[in-house]
Amino acid sequence: MTSSASLIPVVSYARISADIRRDSHGVKDQHKANRETAARYGWTVVHEFTDNDRSAAKFSVVRDDFESMLTALRAGRLADGTRIEGVVILAEDRLARRPGDYERFVEAFTFRDDRVFADQRGPKDLYSEDVESMGLFGAVISKMEVRKMQRRMRRSHRARAEEGRPVGGPRPFGWKDDRLTLEPREAELLAQAVKDFLSGRSLHSIVMDWQERGVKTARGNDWSVRSLKVALSSPRICGWREIAGELVRGPDGAPVQGLWEPVASSEQWAAVRAIFEGRKGHFVGRDMKVGRAHPADYRDHTYLLSGILRCGRRLPDGTMCNTPLRCNGPKDAGHHTYTCLSRAEGGCGGVSRRGDLVDMFVSEAVLAKLEEASSSSGPQDTEWPKAGELKDVEEQLDELTRQWNARQITNDFFFKLVPGLEQTINRLRGEKNKHEASIAAKAAQQETSASEVRRRWYLPEEEGGFPISVKRTYIRSAVHAVIMYPAGKGNKKFDPDLLDPVWRN
């Protein structure tokens, strides 16, 4: 009987591209087969490298354990010092599907002499040029097969999309396993999330609410801002389909309506998408222009007027400071304070005001504006003024295409004119989406009456009050900024006249 000390130490590598069941059964089965292969040849598996749910064909996918295995092969030992003298795999397509990866593996493997290698069919001598060439040729063939399969899948997805049929895969949140019928509870949550977001509520606030209520994704995971953004921005919610960032359209140019039940209207979806596209999570600079993007861990503001208040102190050169005020948290005074940044930080340090009183004044001013607008508002014109222009350009393109198909115009003439027309159509469609988004966003806000806004403004969030993100949306829609002028030295009584809202028209 062979002693364990005389067995050759090898590592097992397993990979699967898609772990649909999320139970790692595929890679576990591969490792089991690899251990049996090793035992047949008097080897022992001392470590298992696993890349579960990782494609080997995509250049953008990094296989962490594959890279770790290459490092260990070059070193001749694992991170804990265990010696390794070979590799066992199920099949070569589990190891590599791109020639470059196969070459890197052989280079690391042959970095040291006298190593062993085997797949389920038997051992192979990777030091032999013929064996290496055959393996490399196999990787090339595998890459070609992958590309053929990807092309077939793309054609299949396109055909299904044009017929309005859903594709396979895990069910999306809001629908049952057939991907056509709505799951009532989830669909209601998703529809409400669309309305809340259009009303100004932040994704983070919705996610926190869902997590507190125990709402999970279709795969049973906790919701995140990223996953909710993906769900809301998907055209599936209104019954449409998107491929490579473009809506799937029929011969008439209109989006193909899917066979599944929608949870929102196309106008609501367009409004959601326009908000995402329009803001892209950027900060607003002093000149009120869109600045740098929010960091990945950006969250809701803690205080109501952060970034909205501006310093109104006059500088020695006669210009206004205009620095966004910082909010300092409550200390001994028991309330927060809005303060201009110091000179070293780019401000003047000359303005500071009690935060709770400023919040109260600005809140009342905005609520009064909402009530005034509510009492004087009349029917709004929802007609997009450039609808006729878009129709004309689309008809020009249709007529040009008809003449080209009938061979009444040359290829050179046709392909010179088409790009310009298509560019104009795309621009006008973008403007139309923004217009519809603006109408939908206003309609979402108008669903809540001014008196209801006032009632919920001061309620705690757990009692139905507005999250701070919704309040900030109402304030942002009413004012460009609020200028805070200096009150002078010493403790003075709060003077609301030193706050100057810059109202939007």
pLDDT score for 285: 43
Which residues, listed in sequence order, are joined to residue 246 by a DSSP beta bridge?
243
CB atoms within 10 A of CB 468: 18
Q: Is the pLDDT of residue 2 over 60?
A: no
Higher pLDDT, 282 or 211: 211
DSSP 3-state of 457: helix
CATH number (3.90.1750.20, 3.30.1370.60, 1.10.3720.10, 2.40.10.480) of 184-279 reads 3.90.1750.20
Higher pLDDT, 129 or 319: 319
pLDDT score for 300: 61
Query: Which part of the chain has CATH 3.90.1750.20?
Result: 184-279
CB 174, CB 182: distance < 8 Å: yes
- Lowest-pLDDT choice from 156-170, 240-254, 449-463, 481-495: 156-170
Residues 246, 284: Cα–Cα separation, whole Å: 29
Query: Which part of the chain has CATH 3.40.50.1390?
Result: 4-146
pLDDT score for 145: 67
- Lowest-pLDDT choice from 103-117, 240-254, 255-269: 240-254
For residue 309, report the phi and psi dihedrals to the nearest 5 degrees: -75, 140
pLDDT score for 42: 92
Q: Is the pLDDT of residue 380 over 60?
A: no
Mean pLDDT of all residues in 3-18 = 84
CB 15, CB 95: distance < 8 Å: yes
% of the chain at pLDDT higher than 70: 83
pLDDT score for 287: 41
- Whether pTM > 0.75 for this model: the answer is no
Phi/psi class of residue 435: alpha, beta or left (left: φ > 0; alpha: ψ in -120 to 50)? alpha
Sequence letter at residue 304: L
pLDDT score for 185: 94
Most confident of 165-169, 334-338, 439-443: 334-338
Residues 299, 278: Cα–Cα separation, whole Å: 18
Mean pLDDT of all residues in 433-447 = 66
pLDDT score for 159: 73
Which pLDDT tens digit goes with each residue over 27-39?
999 999 999 999 9
DSSP 3-state of 264: coil
Q: Is the pLDDT of residue 451 over 70?
A: yes
Q: What is the side-by-side order of every strand in the sheet holding 86-88?
A: 43-52, 8-16, 86-88, 116-119, 122-123
Which pLDDT tens digit goes with each residue over 78-99?
989 999 999 999 988 888 887 7
Q: Which CATH superfamily is domain 4-146 in?
A: Resolvase, N-terminal catalytic domain (3.40.50.1390)
CB atoms within 10 A of CB 41: 15
Residues 305, 285: Cα–Cα separation, whole Å: 15
pLDDT score for 133: 66
pLDDT score for 483: 93
- Lowest-pLDDT choice from 130-139, 393-402, 493-502: 130-139
Which pLDDT tens digit goes with each residue over 97-152?
877 788 889 889 988 888 999 998 899 888 887 765 665 555 556 656 666 666 66
Q: Is the pLDDT of residue 179 over 50?
A: yes
CB 51, CB 17: distance < 8 Å: no
- Lowest-pLDDT choice from 63-67, 209-213, 345-349, 406-410: 345-349
pLDDT score for 296: 42
Higher pLDDT, 427 or 71: 71
Give the single-character DSSP code of 319.
-
Q: What is the DSSP string of 326-340?
A: EEEPP-TTSS-EEEP
Mean pLDDT of all residues in 385-406 = 87
- Lowest-pLDDT choice from 11-25, 266-280, 344-358: 266-280
Which pLDDT tens digit goes with each residue over 188-215?
999 999 988 888 788 888 998 999 999 9
For residue 278, report the phi and psi dihedrals to the nearest 5 degrees: -75, -35
Mean pLDDT of the chain: 82
pLDDT score for 286: 38
